[in-house]
A = this chain, B = another copy of it.
Amino acid sequence: MGTRDEFEGIAEVAGGGLPESKVKADSTALMIIDMQYVDADRNHGLGLEGQKRGWTDDMEYYFSRLETLVIPNVKSLLDACRETGIHAVHVRVMNLAGDSSDTSWRYRMFGIFVPPGHKDAEIIPELAPLPGEVVLSKTTSSVFMSTNADFVLRNMGVDTIIMTGVVTNNCVESSTRNATDIGYRVLLVDDACAAWTQEGHDYCLRHLDRNFAIVKTTEQVLEEIAAASKKPGVAAAVAH
C-alpha cells in the first residue's frame, strides 16, 4: 500500500468517519466495564491465577496501569457524573445461577465461572455502586449480547455512552462496537481503560477512533461533564 501507514480505509473513504460527540447531561450514561475482583485486582481471580503460573512480570503492566491510572480516572468520572446527575451503569462478569449453568459457551471454554456471591463478582471498593445505580451482569465479551443493556439505556433516554474499564481490546471493544452499531455515540476514554499490553491498548484505540467511537482523555470528558452541568435545565434538575 501507499505511504500513509495509518490508512485504515473505511473511515477515510467514508468522509472522515464518526463526528465529534459531546457529553449531554440529559442523555449520557457512564458505563464502567468489569472493574471487579476477577480481573481488576492483582490478588484475586485472573491476577492470582497468573501469579501461580509465574506470570507476575507479564501482568505487571496491566495491574500497574489499573492502580495508578485507570482506577483513579474512573473514580473521578464517577464522582463527576454522580454530582451532575448522569447515570452510572456498572457492568460486571457474573452468571446468575449458583451452579454457573447459565454461563456462555466462551466463558465455559475459558473456565470463567463467577457465580453470585463470589468475591470475584464484586466490584472493587473504589468504584462500588451506590444503592440505586444500575448493575448489569454478563457472561459475554459484549454487554449487549447477554444483558438487557440496550433496553435499560433506551428507557433511560440515553444516546451517548462514556465508556471505561477493562479490558480495552476485549470487553470494552466488543461493547463499544455493538453500542455504536445500535446507534449510541461512544466516548471511549483512553486513560480510563487498560489492556494486557500497551500495544494492544494503543492498536485498539487507533482502530476504533472515528470508526466506532470518539477517543478522549479523562480530562477532556471531565471538562465536558462540567460544561454540561452548568446548563440551566440541568442545574435546575440537580438542585431539585
Chain A: residues with Cβ within 8 Å of the partner, total of 88
Does A230 make an interface contact (CB < 8 A)? no
Closest to A50 in B: B13
Q: In the bound complex, how far is the Cα of B211 from the Cα of A112, in angstroms?
A: 13
Across the interface, which residues of B come within 8 angstroms of A117, CB to CB?
131
Known contacts A13-B49, A15-B110, A110-B14; is-contact A142 B181 (Cβ 8 Å): yes
Contacts of A106 in B (CB 8 A): 18, 180-181, 183, 212
A112–B14 CB distance below 8 A: yes
The interface centre, meaning the residue of A50, A102, A199 with most chain B CB atoms within 10 A of its CB, is A102
Task: Bits for A154-166, please: 1 = Cβ < 8 Å to B, else 0.
Answer: 1111000000000
Evaluate contact between B169 and A131: CB separation under 8 angstroms.
no
Binary interface profile of A, 111-139, with partner B (CB < 8 Å = 1, else 0)?
11001110000000000000111111001
- What is the copy number of this chain in the assembly? 4
Bound complex: CA of A133 vs CA of B11, how far in Å?
30
B1 touches A132 (CB 8 A): no
What distance in Å separates the Cβ of A222 from its nearest Cβ neighbour in chain B?
23
Q: Is A240 an interface residue (CB 8 A)?
A: no
A19 located at the interface, meaning its Cβ lies under 8 Å from any Cβ of chain B in the complex: yes
Q: Are the CB atoms of A146 and B151 closer together than 8 Å?
A: yes
Residues of B within 8 A of A102 (CB): 134, 151-152, 155-156
With A55-B2, A212-B141 already in contact, the answer to whether A135 and B96 are too (CB < 8 A) is yes
State in angstroms the CA–CA spacing of A152 and B156 once bound together: 21
Is residue A207 within 8 Å, beta carbon to beta carbon, of the partner chain?
yes
Complex CA distance for A196 and B9, rounded to whole angstroms: 6
A60 at interface by CB-CB < 8 Å: yes
As a 0/1 sequence over residues 29 to 67 of chain A, the CB contacts with chain B under 8 angstroms (1 = contact) are 000000000000000001001100101011111100000
